[in-house]
Amino acid sequence: MVCYFLMLSIGMLLLNGCAVTRDVLEILPRSGQEPDSIEKNYFIVEEDDDVVGRLATIRIEKGDTLPDIARHFSLGINTVSAANPGVDVWVPKAGERIVLPLSFILPEANRKGIVINLAAMRLFHFKRDGKVQAVATYPVGVGTTERPTPKGRMYIARKKFRPTWFVPASIAADHRKKGDPLAAMVPPGPLNPLGEHALYLSRSEYLIHGTNKPASIGLRATNGCIRLYPEDIKQLFEITPVKTPVSVVYQPYLVGWRDGRVYLEAHTPFEEFGTAELEKAYAKLKKIEKKTGDRLDWHKIKTVVAEARGIPVAISAIGAEGEPAARKTIKLRHPVRLYGQPPVPELRTDAWYVLAAIMGDPVEALRLATILNHQGPPISSQVLSKDGRYRVLAGPFKTNGEAKNASRRMRIDLEIDGIVVAPVQHK
C-alpha cells in the first residue's frame, strides 16, 4: 500500500519538480558529413580485398547513450564501447567525439550465404552477381557462456513473419526460479522476444530473429539464438531465401588485405576458448611476412591485440604511403534524432507511476532512468529533482495493473523494489 505522504510527495514533484539534465559541455555546432550518407549495412567487396567500410566520428549530444548511437548506425554496443574506452555507456559527456567502427574485416570463410562471427558479434550476408561480390552486414546478440550459440554449418530451414514463441522447457524453468512464470507460448506482439521476423535454422532449436530488447545487440545475452535489431532483421528477412547456407565461426583476430596493405582487427576473446585463435593469427601474420618479404609492425600488432578495440588497423605499409583519401576517417553530423531513442515521457498527475529510487547523485539517477528506458519492452522513466534529491520515476501508466507489472519487471530483471504511486487526488 502506498502511504499518503508518498503520494503527496510524488504529486508535488509532478506539479513542481524539474526534470534533471546533464551538467555538461555546451553543445558544439553541427558540422561534418550528413550522418545517413555513410555506408553501414551494404558494401561492394573489391577484388583481393578483405576489408570493407570506413571509420567515422560523431560528437555526443546531451541525452545520447552509446546504445542509441550504436543502433542508429547499425552497430553493436560491444563495438561502440570497445572502440571508445572510458566513455560512459549510459551517461556519456556531451561534446565528446567518439569513433564509429563502421569498417570491418570479413571473416575467413566461404563467401556464400550467411556467415556469423561470434567473437565480433556480426553477421555477414554474401551475394555475388557475376564478378561483383556484395555483402550485407549487421550486428547481432549471441548466446551466453552458459547457453552458447553453436559453431558450424547450417542453413535456413524456414521463415516466419510475426512468429509465435513456444517457450523451451529450460527457459521456462529459469523464469520459474526467478518468480517469473511464462506461458507455454507467447503470441506475436511487444512481449514476444522473437520480434516480428524469424529465420529458423536447420538445427531447429536455434533461430536468427528480431528482438524487443534492442539494447542487447552486441552482447552475449541470448539462449543460443542470433538476435538482430528489428529494422535489421526486416532487411535480412527480405533478402534471405530458404536453404541459404549459414556458417557460424569464432574469429576474434581477423587478418585481411586492403589496397595492398595488411590489416588486423582484434576483439576481446571469449574466456572459454583460450588462446588458440591468437596463436593462429600470429602464425598467419608470420606466414604473410615470409611470403611477401616485408616486415610487419609487431609492436603495433601487440598493441592492437591488447586493446581489442574491434577496429581494422594497418600493420604494414606494403604498396601504399599512408591511408588513401577515400579510406580516411570522416566526421559525421549528429542526426536530428537517433533512431529508436526512447522519448522523454510527459508528466501527468492523472496517471500511475512507480518510484524506482531516490538518490543523492544526479548522474547515477540519470543512469538508472536510462537503463529502465532501454529495457525490453522499455519502461519509460525520468529523473525529477527536489531539495537536492533525485527521484527516478517510471511511467506514466494508465492503470494500477500496468504499474504493478512494471514494478515486477524491475524486481525480476534489475532487483529494484519499486513503489507503486497512485494518481494525485484533486479536491
Enzyme catalytic residues: 209, 225
Task: Flag whether 412 is in a domain.
Answer: yes
| Residue with more model confidence, 217 or 3 | 217
Read off the pTM.
0.89
Q: What percent of the chain has pLDDT over 90?
A: 74
Give the tens place of pLDDT for each residue, 211-228: 999 999 999 999 999 999
Q: Is the pLDDT of residue 124 over 90?
A: yes
Grid coordinates representing 340?
A: 529508436
Looking at the structure of the chain, the number of domains it has is: 3
How open is the CA angle 81-125-324, to the nearest 5 degrees?
65
Comparing C-alpha atoms, which of 323, 328, 381, 321 is closest to residue 355?
381
- The Cβ of residue 319 has, within 10 Å, a number of other Cβ atoms equal to 11
Quote the mean pLDDT of the chain: 89
The whole-number average pLDDT for the span 334-358 is: 93
Of 265, 288, 319, the one marking the end of a domain is 319
Q: What is the pLDDT of residue 324?
A: 61
Contact 245, 114 (CB under 8 A): yes
How far apart, in whole angstroms, are the C-alpha atoms of residue 311 and residue 69? 17
Domain span holding position 91: 37-249
Angle among Cα 184, 189, 191 to the nearest 5 degrees reads: 60
**What's the rounded Cα separation, in Å, for the pair 311 and 104?**
7
Specify whether 140 is located in the same domain as 241. yes
Specify the pLDDT at position 48: 87
Angstrom distance (rounded) from CA 267 to CA 281? 12
Do 211 and 94 share a structural domain? yes
Q: Taking residues 136-158, what's their average pLDDT? A: 97
371 and 408 co-located in one domain: yes
Q: Residue 219 corresponds to which cell in the numbers above? A: 552482447
- Do residue 117 and residue 136 come from a single domain? yes
Which range in 86-100, 174-188, 314-328 is most confidently predicted, on average pLDDT? Answer: 86-100
Residues 108 and 179 in one domain: yes
Which CATH number does the domain housing residue 363 bear?
3.30.70.1070
Q: What is the reported pLDDT for 15?
A: 43
Which of 17-26, 222-231, 361-370 comes out lowest in average pLDDT? 17-26
Do 160 and 263 sit in the same domain of this protein?
A: no
